[in-house]
Amino acid sequence: MTPEQSFSRWIKIALSAFFLFFVYFVIADNYMPMTPEARIQRYVVPVSARVSGQVSRVHVTNNQLVEPGQLLFELDDSDYRLAVQRAELALSQARVEQQRAQSGLAEVKAEVHKAELQVNEQEREAARIARLHRQGHMSQQQLEQANTSTSLARDALTVANARQQEVGQAVTAAGIAVEQAEVALRQARLELARTRVQAESRGRIGNLQLRQGQHATAGQPLLALISDQAWVSADLREKSLRHVQSGTPVEIIFDALPGQVFAGHVTSIDSGVREGQQAADGLLAQPVNSDRWVRDAQRLRTHITLDEAWPPLATGAKATVQLYPVDNPVLHGLAAMQARVVSLLRYLY
């Protein structure tokens, strides 16, 4: 074989190989997509105190597993105990004032009842004198004196009723003051209880930067609580997701566990990305200017869960995800081969 024939043969082999690889890439990208842009994610809850104070004791260590309700740290509660005592004293004082107002109301009611009896008595006496006056047995002066006494008794009843209304308002105000004192006491006790910070859910302590004697400000995160609930987030080109839906089977290869392949399935696909969100700021839209003939493909985030027990890997551990969107034995076999080759290559990098 001449050198020219040998060169021509190698050119044909290279072109054939390129064509085969090109066809394989197109088929793989559409019917058995794979992405190395995947990582483990978990819910991370920042833990902060709901009241301010100096840290008196820390009960956990970094990476410690905690259960719901487990005590994490405590704040100095001296000021909050005093606040509870002040609130209890204020409540006692408010109740004393309420009892005093109620006693005054009872006294005024007795005065009103006495005034009503006097009015009734004076009215009967005035009616008797008026009847005797018509018969000529009483003088005009006696009749006028009886009517004046009746008017005075009625005025005294009016004053008593007004005082009863005033004292009743005071009783209502005293009752409101008692309720306000009770609310203040409950608030003080709640703030005292919040000096003991507890775990709201099960998880591991992360990024613990808390020390005894440190001042904690209400709402300022002091540590992180990493949930046990985990999933894999994989970023794939939107074209590769045409045949992917919730429930699509996948295989996951974690960088930290070379040679191992884990089975899972797709739980959801995000409905958008940040580049598609435009703030309503009153400004005109700014089109993207690019002179590239082939632009970067948009990637969408896909959420995946394992069908088996989760390995003990850290949050953020990277992985490669192989999807099986088409139920075809040939494509399924090629995709499985892809996944195994990648899992073996993880020994090298």
Domain boundaries, the chain: 78-193
pLDDT at 165 over 70: yes
Helix/strand/coil for 244: coil
Average pLDDT, the chain: 85
Collapsing DSSP to helix, strand or coil, 22 comes out as helix
pLDDT at 191: 93
pLDDT at 305 over 90: yes
pLDDT band at 6; cut points 50, 70, 90: confident
| DSSP helix/strand/coil, 125 | helix
- What pLDDT does 146 receive? 67
In contact, 199 and 70? CB cutoff 8 Å: yes
Q: Distance of alpha carbon 94 from its chain centroid, rounded?
A: 36
- How far apart CA 140 and CA 146 sit, in angstroms, is 10
* Cα end-to-end distance, the chain, whole Å: 42
Task: With both helix axes pointing from N to C terminus, report the angle between 329-345 and 3-31 in degrees, rounded to the nearest 10.
Answer: 100
Position 126 pLDDT exceeds 70 = no
pLDDT of 188 above 70: yes
pLDDT, tens digit, for every residue of 31-56? 889 999 999 999 998 999 999 999 99
- Residues linked to residue 204 through DSSP beta bridges, in sequence order: 65, 226
pLDDT at 143 over 70: no
pLDDT over threshold 90, residue 132 = no
Q: What is the mean predicted confidence (pLDDT) over 246-274?
A: 90
Q: Determine the 3-state secondary structure of 200 from DSSP.
A: coil
- Residue 138 Cα distances to 57, 131, 143, angstroms: 94, 9, 7
Q: Residue 1 pLDDT > 70, yes or no?
A: no
Structure tokens at 316: 């953020």
Q: Is the pLDDT of residue 166 over 80?
A: no
Phi, psi of 291 (to 5 degrees): -100, 15
* Mean pLDDT within 71-89: 93
Residue 83: phi and psi, rounded to 5, are: -65, -40
* pLDDT value for 133: 67
Number of Cβ within 10 Å of residue 289's Cβ equals 5
Structure-token pair, residue 280: 């309503």
Given a contact cutoff of 8 angstroms between Cβ atoms, the answer to whether 94 and 178 are in contact is: yes
Quick one: pLDDT at residue 264? 94
| Token reading at 41 | 């994610």
Residue 332 has pLDDT above 90, yes or no: no
pLDDT exceeds cutoff 80 at 4: no
Paired tokens of 114: 């006495």
Q: How confident is the model at residue 226, as a pLDDT?
A: 92
Query: Do the Cβ atoms of 299 and 339 come closer than 8 Å?
Result: no
pTM (predicted TM-score):
0.69
Taking the C-alpha atoms of residue 85 and residue 269, their distance in angstroms, rounded to an integer, is 55
